[in-house]
Amino acid sequence: MKRVLSGIQPTSDSLHLGNYLGAVKQWVALQDGHDAFYCIVDLHALTVETEPSLLRRRTLTTAAQLIAFGISPEKSTLFVQSQVPAHNQLGWLMECMAGFGEASRMTQFKDKSSKTGADSARVALFTYPMLQAADILLYQADLVPVGEDQRQHIELTRDLAGRFNTRYGESFKIPDGLIVKSAAKINDLQEPTTKMSKSSGSVAGVIEIMDAPEVNAKKIKSSMTDAGSEVRFDEREKPGISNLMTIHSALSGQSLSALEDEFAGKGYGDFKGAVADVVTEYLRPIRERALELLEDEAHLIELLHAGGAKARKVAAGTIESVYKNLGTLA
Distances (CA, A) of 162 to 6, 98, 154, 171: 20, 12, 12, 9
Inter-residue contact 248 to 254 (CB < 8 Å): yes
Residue 15 CB, nearest approach to ligand TYM (Å): 8
- The one among 67, 189, 196, 209 contacting ligand TYM by CB under 6 A: 196
- By CB under 6 A, what part of segment 20-39 binds ligand TYM? 22-23
A 10 A CB-CB count for 296 gives: 11
Residue 195 a catalytic site member: yes
Is 9 a binder of ligand TYM (CB under 6 A)? yes
Which stretch, 66-74, 98-106, 141-149, 300-308, contacts ligand TYM (CB under 6 A)? Answer: 141-149
- The one among 3, 4, 14, 19 contacting ligand TYM by CB under 6 A: 19
Is 272 a binder of ligand TYM (CB under 6 A)? no
Distances (CA, A) of 233 to 30, 63, 202, 237, 244: 29, 34, 25, 9, 9
Residue whose CB is less far from ligand TYM, 9 or 280? 9
The site string for ligand TYM over 156-195 (x = CB under 6 A, - otherwise) reads: ----------------------------xxx--------x
Q: 145 forms bridges with which residues in the sheet?
A: 178
Which contacts of 264-272 are long-range, i.e. CB under 8 A and separated by 24 or more positions? Answer: 264/231, 266/231, 267/229, 268/225, 268/229, 268/231, 268/241, 269/221, 271/231, 271/241, 271/244, 272/220, 272/221, 272/223, 272/225, 272/244
Inter-residue contact 209 to 8 (CB < 8 Å): no
Residue 189 CB, nearest approach to ligand TYM (Å): 11
Which stretch, 63-71, 90-98, 129-137, 166-174, contacts ligand TYM (CB under 6 A)? Answer: 129-137
Q: What are phi and psi of 93, to 5 degrees?
A: -65, -35
Is 147 a binder of ligand TYM (CB under 6 A)? yes
Is 150 a binder of ligand TYM (CB under 6 A)? yes
Q: Which residues bind ligand TYM (CB under 6 A)?
A: 5-9, 18-19, 22-23, 41, 44, 132, 135-136, 144, 146-147, 149-150, 184-186, 195-197
Instruction: Please give the positions annotated as active site.
Output: 112, 195, 198
